[in-house]
Structure 1
Amino acid sequence: MTTTLTTARLILRPLAETDAARVERYVSDPDIAKMTLNIPHPYPEGEALTFIRSVQLRVEEGNNVVFAITEQGIDDCIGAMSVRIEPAHNRGELGYWIGKSHWGKGYATEAARAMLAYCFNELKLHKCMARAFAHNPASWRVMEKIGLKEEGLMRQHFMRDGMYIDSKCYGLLREEYLQGS
């Protein structure tokens, strides 16, 4: 994947092996891990490089699009934005994280808005969805700001650290996106 997305303040570019040290530093923060399903804590040393290589394989297979989020003029990764594609259903599920030192600046919303446009305009997906732990209002507010509609609460849908966790689900259909909903 060589696609790059540009927003007013950000550049979303392919995640690269050179991002491993910054990814590892950011996702080692327990506050990042506790808001995600698949980031372990403590984060194993060297795991970021393994993660990036596995992502690159899924991208090559056409099942994922994953971008490093960078500030314009600064190529350092400050987060990641992805869409996991389900070709059989022509839909994608957004996923994202932002390094804690960059929280509260609107970067997740800006990057998610660009990814949503990419999903509908370039990938021609029928639906985009996203899920967030119910105890993570910052994440589900991003979904609401980019126009996704709340579809429901999946009670005790995930298990994280031995506890069942509710998940809020949001989605947007292509026709709604094109109508500006």
Structure 2
Amino acid sequence: MNPLLFTERLSIRPFQLDDASRVQELLGAGEIAETTTIIPHPLPDGFAEEWINKIQISMINKDSIHFALVNNQNILIGCIYLFLNKKHNKGELGYWLGKPYWNKGYCTEAGKEMIKFGFEELGLNRIYADAFTKNTASSKVMQKVGLKYEGTFKQSCLYRGVYEDTVIYGITRDDYFGL
């Protein structure tokens, strides 16, 4: 699966091993690791290469879809992904951006395209996302892409020795298509 998606300001494409140095550079910022449980900090050497290899295999197996976000200057600025649950025909939306690209609407732009891809191309029945309650920027993205608040889970995630509350947002296929 090697689709290419486009928005007004982004090319959304599968990651390539050539992206590893840029991924390593972007994810090296501790602020990104603060917002997600899947990115370690400090970032170990070789993390990006190993991660790209894993997500390429995951895409082949159709377990997840990870796309690089590339701006109009052909600079990789982040990632958007769907973890796929085949049994229940749903996807978990996630994203990260390099810190210099925060608060510019890129995640919202990419998120709308990814939701469209999930429902219209993958035929998913549900797409959802979650975030730490303290990550209000991510919650705003979820709202802007059309996901609806579904609840707050108290102390649902043990992260760096602290139990964090998370919020979840979602949308169904029927809601997406306005049925």
TM over 0.5: yes
- Corresponding position of 2:108: 109
Work out the CA distance in 1 between the residues paired with 2:173 and 2:9: 26
Root-mean-square deviation (CA, aligned residues, Å) is: 1.0
Name the CA distance, whole Å, in 2 between partners of 1:156 and 1:25.
Answer: 31
Q: Distance in 1 between matches of 2:4 and 2:132?
A: 29
Q: State the Cα distance separating 1:76 from its structure 2 match.
A: 2.5
Q: Gaps (5+ residues) in structure 2?
A: none
Alpha-carbon separation, structure 2, partners of 1:23 and 1:125: 28
Task: Say which SS state the counterpart of residue 88 (structure 1) adopts.
Answer: coil
Counterpart code for 2:55: V
Q: Which letter maps to 1:123?
A: L
Deviation at 1:24, TM superposition (A): 0.7
Matched, 1:143 2:133: no
TM-score (norm 2): 0.98
Equivalent positions of 1:12-31 (< 5 A) are 12-31=12-31
Give yes or no for contact 1:55–1:66 (8 Å, CA) kept in 2: yes
After superposition, the C-alpha distances for 1:69-125 in whole angstroms (9 at most, x for unaligned) are 0012x3331100000000100000001001000111100100001000000100010
**Residue type at the aligned position of 2:175:** E
Q: How do 1:31-180 residues align onto structure 2 when only pairs under 5 Å count?
A: 31-72=31-72, 74-179=73-178
Whether contact under 8 Å (1:19, 1:76) holds in the other structure is no
Task: Note if contact 1:65-1:83 (Cα within 8 Å) is conserved in structure 2.
Answer: yes
Alpha-carbon distance in structure 1 between the residues aligned to 2:80 and 2:171: 17
**How many corresponding residue pairs?**
179
Work out whether residues 85 and 91 of structure 1, in 8 Å CA contact, stay in contact via their aligned partners in 2. yes
2:44 alignment partner AA: P
Local SS of the residue matching 1:147: coil
CA distance in 1, matches of 2:28, 2:161: 19
Amino acid paired to 1:18 = D
Cα distance in 2 between the residues matched to 1:171 and 1:122: 18
Shift of 1:144: 0.2
With the length of structure 1 as denominator, give the TM-score of the two structures: 0.97
* AA aligned opposite 1:76: I
* Alpha-carbon distance between aligned partners in 2 of 1:83 and 1:8, rounded to the nearest angstrom: 21
